[in-house]
Copies of this chain bind each other. A is one copy, B any other.
Amino acid sequence: MKLRFTKSVLINAINIVLKAVPSKSTMPVLECILLDASEGKISMTGNDMRFAIKTTINGTIIEEGKIAINAKLFADIVRSFPDDDEIYIKENDLNISIESGNADFNIMGIDYVEYPDVPDINRSNYVCLSQYSLKEIISQTIFSISSDETVSPQMSGEFFEVYDNRLRLVSLDGHRISMRNLVLRDNYGKVKLIIPGKTMMDISRIIPEDMDNDVYVYYDNNHVLFEYNDTIVLSRLIEGEYYKVDRMISNDYETKVVVNRRSLLSAIERSILLAKESDKKPLIFDIVDGSMEVSMKSYIGSMREDIDIDKTGKDLTIGLNPRFLIDVLRTISDEEVMIYFINSRAPIVIKDDDGLYLYLILPVNIGVK
C-alpha cells in the first residue's frame, strides 16, 4: 500500500471514525482504524462492535492496500506533523511507515482480515431529515433516557417514531418523559425504531451542524444506518416494543402557570447549590396568584426566591426534582414556558401550544395534598 494525503483531510477523517474506536479493548484490533484503499477508493472505519463509522476520504492511491492501524497512535502522529507538508502512508508486510517533511515513523499494523466486518443493510427503507434537525431533537430528548440498560433495554434507547410526515422522538426513565415532534418533508408511512441512547449521543456529536444538508436514516429489523456527507454510521437497534407513552399523559389540569423561562431556570440552578447530586432534595414550589416561591432546605443551608408568574386555576404546593426541571428548561428556547399541574401528587407537564414539545415530570412526595 502507498497513499498520499493532505494533513487536514486525513485529520478530519480520523476524527470522524475515532468516535467509534474504543480507547481500551481486550481485542487490540478494535483499538485500530481500518484503512482501506481498494477498488479505487480510500475509506476509514472505526468499529466498537455496537456501533461503526465508515467515511470515505480524498487521497492519492499510489498502490492499493488494506491495513488496521492503532487509532490513537495514528491520530497522534498525523496531528504532530507540520500543517503544510503532504503525508505518505506506506505498508509492506504489516510494517507501516508514516512520512511527512523530514520525519519518518515506523509502526506495526494488524492484518485487515482480523478487523470485524461492518454488516451491510438493505437500503430500501429510510427516513430523510436535515442534519441540523436531527442533532437538535436528539439533544432535546436524550437526557431522559435511563442509563441502566440492564433494568430495561427500551428505556436506554430513544423511540424514533414516524407517522406519515411526522417524526416523534421520545425518551423516558421512569421519572419523566421527553418528547419532541418534527414535520418531515415527505411521507414515510409508519416507522417504529428503538435506537440505543449511546448511538444517538454519538450521532448528535459527530454530525456537523448543517441546515442545508440531509441525513438518511436507513433501517431493517436489527440495524439502523445513518448516512450523511461521505460517512455512514451503523448501529444495532434495541429489540422489543416501546412504552405506550400517550396513555401516560393526561390533558387535564387544575393549575396552569406561565413563567419566564430564564428567571425560572436561574432560580432553580441557584437552588441546587444547596443539594448534592446524591441527596435527592426536592425544590418546593408554592404557587399563588401572580407569584411562585421556590425554596429549598438542606443540611448545607436554605434558600427562597420569588418568581413572577401568570397563574390560572387553583393555588398549589408541589415538590419537584430541580435537576429534571433544569434539563427541560435548558432545551427549550421559548421566552415563556407553560406548566400544567393537576395536584401535588400528579405529574406536571411542560408543553407548548404548537405541539412541538412535551415534557412530563413526576413530583416528589413532600407530604402535602
Contacts and interface: CB of A to CB of B under 8 A. Distances in A.
Interface residues of A, number: 28
Contacts of A73: 273, 300-301
Contact of A80 (B80, B103, B105, B269): B269
Contacts of A101: 305
Interface in A80-123: 80-82, 101-108
Q: How many copies does the complex hold?
A: 2
Interface in A298-328: 300-307
B80 A266 contact: yes
Interface in A248-304: 266-267, 269-270, 273-274, 300-304
Contacts of A104: 303-305
Contacts of A102: 267, 305-307
Contacts of A305: 101-104
A104 B306 CA distance: 9
B273 A77 contact: yes
Contacts of A266: 80, 82
B307 A105 contact: no
A300 B303 CA distance: 56
Given A73-B301, A104-B305, A107-B300, 14 more contacts: A73-B273, A73-B300, A80-B273, A82-B266, A101-B305, A102-B305, A103-B267, A103-B303, A105-B270, A105-B274, A105-B302, A105-B303, A106-B302, A106-B303
